Chain A
Amino acid sequence: MSTETTVAEVKKPAEALLSKRRKKLISDPLVDDNPITIQVLGICSALAVTTQLQPTLVMAISVIFVIVMANLTISLMRNTIPTRVRIIVQLAVVATLVTLVSEFLKAFAFDMYKELSVFVGLIITNCIVMGRLEAFALGNKPYDSILDGFGSALGYSWIILAVAFFRELLGSGSVFGVPVYDTLAGFIGDDFSFATNGLMVSPVGAFIILGLIIWVQRTKTGYVEH
């Protein structure tokens, strides 16, 4: 860290911990600048892990951890990172964090590790992570970077959770592994039955749900691609 920035900070009154600008860092990526639906990043994992809610939730938590920590680390190092190798440095930091997540899952949540092993590794190539590092963490202070990373990760998380909810409900007839239709049949009577849709289990189902979410969202916000 250079002394320059600290001097500048002393001059103006300290910004509130959650000032308007900082709140925007978190809230913008949720809808108006959502990484998946607006920036169309991280689609691959959004299609792959979202067949069921439980692995999706673990994936979301892992991505939140990785983005926030990577943003923090890169932001702390931003004035020392040589410009010419910055992408490799970012990649090394992200890969380390992802490996840590994978190791911890293996030690403490072995069942999850078995289910998610491939996809946790693929967080490294999640464009959202690298995107936030390049676009934000390299040029902003650590605390702002944490907020920005958290916002982007939340934006990513709620979308994949929403997709997973519909895919699991329509494709497997359950929510978080609880068989909804069978339970409903227990209340209403055995006449109640609902055929599960195999399309929802395949990645095509995720495309459809994602497309519908984007449609609804853009109708509401009036966002148009230029």
Chain B
Amino acid sequence: MQQSNAYIIIFSVILTVVLGLLLSGTSQVLGPMQRKAEELDTKKQILGAVIDADQIKAMKPDEVLSFYENRIASKVVDINGNILEKDADGNPMVAEKVNVGKNYKMPADKRMYPVFIFHAEGNPDEVESYVFPVYGAGLWDEIWGYLALQTDLNTIEGVTFSHKGETPGLGARITALNVQQRYQGKEIFDGSGNIQSVVMQKGEGKDYSSDPHKVDGLSGATITANGVNDMIKNYLQHYSAFLEKQKSSQKTEMASLN
């Protein structure tokens, strides 16, 4: 059956309009739910760096949000560790709204660096750990995560990683709990106070528990692992000024207490 050109064009136009309307309609209806899911996911990731994954899993979405509200304080610093109060438009800065991925495209000294502070309930001054976002490139697409440091600003309390398109079963395993747990208790500074970061090694199945700067690697996902290593090291360096400042203020506090 041969149809006329006019028929084909009209058919195509109608089909395009119908399918287009269907898709944009769905996107409109589901949009708010998707944004909520994303926000919840971000907050879960931040919390994942400091509390047990099972504990988060057991919480309902509302409980996660209220827990976050009660336990996390946040601020935004620049590369020199100075606190930024207002964003480019003069509005009060909200750390949760800072898009680390977008900032990544700017030069390192122009970026905004959010800091999330995990504190005791009801007392923002009683800090339990500091959570820093990290961001970089994996094998296929962006990877990002959150790294929590204990109050000595040296020992890693925990990490969470996420990715956009790493290979399932290989690079995508950076989201797996047993991979992330390998970072717990590792140290970012070497003996003389320089940032040495924590590096995922090539190959998998070796025991690095005696070395505070090495963790077991991901077999079959070397490029993703390298991406993780780069991203942690880069961001630790970006936050180094803030870390130094925080450390010296801790010291003066100690001194005044004595």
Chain A positions within 8 Å of B, measured between CB atoms, are 48-49, 51-52, 55, 80-85, 88-89, 92-93, 96, 99-100, 103-104, 106-108, 110-111, 114-119, 171, 198, 201-202
Contacts and interface: CB of A to CB of B under 8 A. Distances in A.
Contacts, number: 83
The 4 A-B residue pairs with the shortest CB-CB distance in the complex, in nearest-first order: A51-B169, A110-B37, A107-B33, A107-B30
A95 B11 CA distance: 17
A55 B168 CA distance: 9
A212 to B, nearest CB: 19
Interface string B118-132: 000000000000000
A55 B41 CA distance: 18
A145 to B, nearest CB: 18
A116 B168 CA distance: 8
Contact of A48 (B3, B30, B168): B168
Contacts of A81: 11
Interface string B14-33: 01100100110011001001
A201 B15 contact: no
A115 B172 contact: yes
Contact of B8 (A82, A104, A117): A82
Interface residues of B, number: 35
B1 interface: yes
Contact of A201 (B12, B164, B170): B170
Contacts of B11: 80-82, 85, 89
B204 to A, nearest CB: 8
Contact of B220 (A52, A80, A84, A201): A201
B169 A96 contact: no
A103 B30 contact: yes
Interface of B: 1-3, 7-8, 11-12, 15-16, 19, 22-23, 26-27, 30, 33-34, 37-38, 40-41, 140, 162-165, 167-170, 172, 175, 204, 219-220
B37 A106 contact: yes
Contacts of B1: 83
Given A103-B27, A107-B34, A51 B41 contact: no
Contact of B169 (A52, A83, A85, A117): A52
Contacts of B168: 48-49, 51-52, 55, 115-116, 119
A96 B22 CA distance: 8
